[in-house]
Amino acid sequence: MTHPQHPADLLFGSNLVAVVTPMRPGGAIDEPGLADLVDHLLATGCDGIAVGATTGESPTLTEAEAAKLVGAVAGRSQGRARVVAGIATADTAAGVRRARAAEAAGADALLLSCPYYSRPPQRGVVAHCSAVADATELPVMLYDVPARTGIAMEAPTLMELSAHPRIRAVKDAKGDLFEAMSVMSGTPLAYYCGIDELNLAYLACGATGVLSVVGNVAADRNAELIRAVRGGDLASAKAIQRSLLPLVDAVMRTSQGAVTSKAALAELGIIPHATVRLPLVESPPHDLERLRQALAAVAAPA
- Catalytic residue from among 143, 191, 192, 202: 143
Q: Cα angle vertex 209, ends 130, 244, to 5°?
A: 135
Can 191 be counted among the known catalytic residues?
no
Tell me if 289 is assigned to some domain. Answer: no
What is the count of structural domains for the chain?
1
Q: Splitting the chain (302 residues) into consecutive groups of 10 residues, what average pLDDT does each group show?
A: 70 97 97 98 98 96 97 97 96 97 98 95 98 98 96 98 98 97 97 98 97 98 97 97 96 94 97 97 95 89 59
Q: What residues contact 121, with CB distance under 8 A and at least 6 apart?
A: none
Tell me if 49 is assigned to some domain. Answer: yes
Tell me if 2 is assigned to some domain. Answer: no
Strands 48-51 and 109-113, by their bridges, are unpaired
Percent of the chain with pLDDT over 90: 94
Q: pLDDT at position 244, please?
A: 96
Q: Is 113 left (phi over 0), alpha (psi -120 to 50) or beta?
A: beta
Q: Count of CB atoms within 10 A of residue 133's CB?
A: 23
Can 143 be counted among the known catalytic residues?
yes
Tell me if 201 is assigned to some domain. Answer: yes
Q: pLDDT at position 186, please?
A: 96
- Catalytic residue from among 68, 116, 117, 171: 171
Tell me if 25 is assigned to some domain. Answer: yes
Q: pLDDT at position 8, please?
A: 86
Q: Supply the CATH number for residue 163's domain.
A: 3.20.20.70
Tell me if 299 is assigned to some domain. Answer: no
One-letter amino acid identity for 158?
A: L
Tell me if 263 is assigned to some domain. Answer: no
Measured distance between the N- and C-terminal CA atoms of the chain, rounded to whole angstroms: 23
Q: Which domain holds residue 153?
A: 7-234
Of 44, 35, 50, nearest in space to 83 by CA: 50
Q: pLDDT at position 301, please?
A: 65
Tell me if 155 is assigned to some domain. Answer: yes
Burial of 18 (0-12, 13-18, 19+ CB in 10 A): buried
Write out pLDDT tens, residues 4-37.
678 889 999 999 999 999 999 999 999 999 999 9
Q: pLDDT at position 1, please?
A: 34
Burial of 212 (0-12, 13-18, 19+ CB in 10 A): buried
